[in-house]
Amino acid sequence: MLVAVDTGGTKTLIASFLDDGTIDTRYKFPTPPHTDDYVRVLQQELHSHFGNKAVDAIVVALPGIVKDGVAVWCNNLKWKNFDAASALKGVLGDAPVFIENDANLAGLAETRQLKDIPALSLYVTISTGIGSGIITDGIIHPALRYSEIGRSLVEYDGHVREWETFASGKAIYTIYGKYARDIKSKRTWHQVADRISRGFLATIPVLQPDVIIIGGSIGTYFSSYGTDLKGILKEHLPDHIPLPKIVQAKHPEEAVIYGCYYYAVDALAAR
């Protein structure tokens, strides 16, 4: 059995996978704002649900830069230099604990589930913030695993701003006073598409991905803005820069836990 932990800014999802990759059980709890409380609650949940089961590995996804098991910075949780690997070592006996960035894991899962694995895919999660996973030939790119696409600097409304400050789910709610599920206006969705396009217009010429996969809570509503987004990008990209294929994530809000599964399988095979 493999255990996945998707740590979000407001809630944490725990799921277990059977050997064939199907989800066996899942549980949620509010993400504590402080790391000590997070570790304590997570340990309690893991012991409660899996303490008497044979667990092969645990993968913990964190919403920030992760280096050698340490969350250097989690922007929305304001966690800094959180040594998650040490804090959770041995939580379920001998089961190894792997720590990775959540968007990297989501990108891994969504890329592995494509019909054909592209040379380079760019996964972008648009939720509370904007995160990214750059996947090359079906694995997390080792040199670009610390990329933070949401912090890309883009000129918007006459100011140089971080992309996620005006295009994330949090920003959309602040600007329009509505969650994505409540937006019905085509004009508003066109404006959202324009906001989202700005970061892609800066990123596509640099990475030139074969496929862009959009997930997260805003990814759930891709059908409301996807056509407009593609049109804006096609209009503004230079002629010699091809427009990548742009698709909605198969599991917009569960991609991370599936990524945990693929990551664990790969890590155990390499041991």
Do the domains at 2-102+253-270 and 114-248 have one common CATH topology?
Answer: yes
pLDDT at 72: 96
> What is the DSSP code string of 237-252?
S-TTSPPPEEEE-SST
The residue behind tokens 């899962």 is 109
Average pLDDT, the chain: 95
List pLDDT tens digits, range 126-137. Answer: 988 899 999 999
pLDDT at 145: 93
List pLDDT tens digits, range 113-122. Answer: 999 999 999 9
Q: Indicate whether 242 pLDDT > 80.
A: yes
pLDDT at 57: 97
pLDDT at 96: 97
pLDDT at 41: 97
pLDDT at 134: 97
List pLDDT tens digits, range 152-176. Answer: 999 999 999 999 999 999 999 999 9
List pLDDT tens digits, range 200-227. Answer: 999 999 999 999 999 988 999 999 999 9
Give 180's DSSP letter. G
Q: What is the mean pLDDT of residues 252-267?
A: 93
User: At the topology level of CATH, where does 2-102+253-270 sit?
Assistant: Nucleotidyltransferase; domain 5 (3.30.420)
- Burial 127-164, CB ≥16 within 10 A → b, else e: bbbbbbbbbbeeebbeebbebbbbbbebebeeeebbbb
Angle made by CA atoms 25, 27, 28, in degrees to the nearest 5:
160
Residue 124, burial from CB neighbour count under 10 angstroms (0-12, 13-18, 19+): buried
List pLDDT tens digits, range 27-54. Answer: 999 999 999 999 999 999 999 999 999 9
pLDDT at 55: 96
Confidence category of residue 75, pLDDT binned at 50, 70, 90: confident
Q: Indicate whether 253 pLDDT > 90.
A: no
**CATH code for the domain defined by 114-248:** 3.30.420.40
Confidence category of residue 10, pLDDT binned at 50, 70, 90: confident
pTM of the model: 0.92
Angle made by CA atoms 206, 262, 135, in degrees to the nearest 5:
5
pLDDT at 254: 86
Confidence category of residue 76, pLDDT binned at 50, 70, 90: confident
Q: Indicate whether 183 pLDDT > 80.
A: yes
Q: What is the mean pLDDT of residues 87-91?
A: 96
Domain ranges of the chain: 2-102+253-270, 114-248
